[in-house]
């Protein structure tokens, strides 16, 4: 899956959860701009976990502020990792 396809899927899930048109959401959109309170954000993250069959660690979830952070984190979780390696949602590559 390309980064663009992944981004569109993430935006689609967020748009559906917030009941807003996907065209109104960009990677630069913040959770604050979407009007997400902490409970809404948890619900969106659960929907993303279900959509992509991943688990977003709680400590990483607390740091998410923008749609771009979600896209980048999901990309890391669905990307193949080297044998025996795991990469955290919010971890920056070295």
- Catalytic site residues? 37
- 93 DSSP 8-state letter: P
* Nearest-angstrom CA–CA distance, 43 and 24: 19
* Nearest-angstrom CA–CA distance, 86 and 38: 27
Length of the chain: 94
């Amino acid at each position: 899956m390309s980064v663009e396809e992944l981004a569109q899927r993430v935006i689609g899930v967020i748009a559906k959860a917030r009941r807003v048109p996907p065209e109104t959401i960009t990677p630069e959109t913040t959770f604050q701009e979407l009007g997400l309170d902490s409970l809404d954000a948890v619900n969106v993250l659960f929907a993303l976990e279900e959509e992509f069959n991943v688990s977003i660690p709680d400590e990483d979830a607390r740091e998410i502020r923008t749609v771009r952070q979600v896209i980048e984190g999901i990309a890391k979780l669905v990307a193949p990792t080297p044998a025996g390696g795991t990469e955290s949602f919010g971890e920056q590559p070295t």
